[in-house]
Every structure is written in structure tokens, then in C-alpha cells.
Amino acid sequence: MNPRDWLASIALAIAFVSPASAQRADAPSSASIAEVHARELPREAQEAIVLIRKGGPYPYAKDGAVFGNREGILPRAKRGYYREYTVKTPGVRTRGARRIIAGASGELYYSDDHYNHFRRVRE
């Protein structure tokens, strides 16, 4: 095999298995995320949703911070699209593990295990 053909085959192989193309193929869709009705969530989550819809005030300084979706579980969006809000956990002194993630289009996601799993909230 001549060097030019060898380079072309390497370039094709790299393009075929590039992480960017793999991420697009594996990107979750909102259809693959389980749903939960807001009335089925814990009372504290329902209260957080009311505050989110009102625009605050929020009990935690980090409420409203950008959620980066580093886990890649939620549908892909530009940085800043998602914001995170704390859901109080009774008996826990810290922010705990429960969160509501709000998308810029108004969609909400609930996690009770610090972003390991999400359920889309239906209102």
C-alpha cells in the first residue's frame, strides 16, 4: 500500500469512529426519559416548581445556576439552556441530592439522585 492510500484509509477510520459522531448517535431524546406527573413528586419538589414558575425567590444561592448536562442524560442543548434548582430534602443540612432542572423552553426534569437519573415532569 502506498503512503497516500494508507493515510486515506487512516483518515476514513478516524472519521468513522470519532467521538463527535459517536456522541450524536448516542444522544438521548426526551422520548427516552421517563415521565412523572408533578402531583406525584414529593411536596418539596412541587414547591420548587411553583418558585421556578414564579421566578423566585429561591432558598439556595446556587438555585438558577447553569446546569451543564455533563452526564449527557438530558437532550443536548447549548450551554446555558438548562438551569438547576434545589429540592429541599427533609432532615438534610446540605442541599441534598434532589434537583429540578429547567430548560429555557419551560420543560422540567426531576432528579432525586444528583443527576444520575431524570424524569421529565408533566404539569
Angle (nearest 5°) at CA 64 between 41 and 26: 70
User: For the chain, which residues make up each domain, given as ranges?
Assistant: 33-122
More confident residue, 47 or 27: 47
Maximum mean pLDDT: which of 24-28, 70-74, 80-84: 80-84
Q: Which CATH class is domain 33-122?
A: alpha beta
CA dist 45 and 118 (Å) reads: 13
Per the structure block, which three cell numbers stand in for 23? 456522541
Q: Catalytic residues, which ones?
A: 84, 114
Q: Is 16 a residue whose pLDDT tops 70?
A: no
Residue 23's DSSP bridge partners are none
pTM of the complete model:
0.75
CA dist 49 and 98 (Å) reads: 13
Q: How many CB atoms lie within 10 A of CB 41?
A: 21
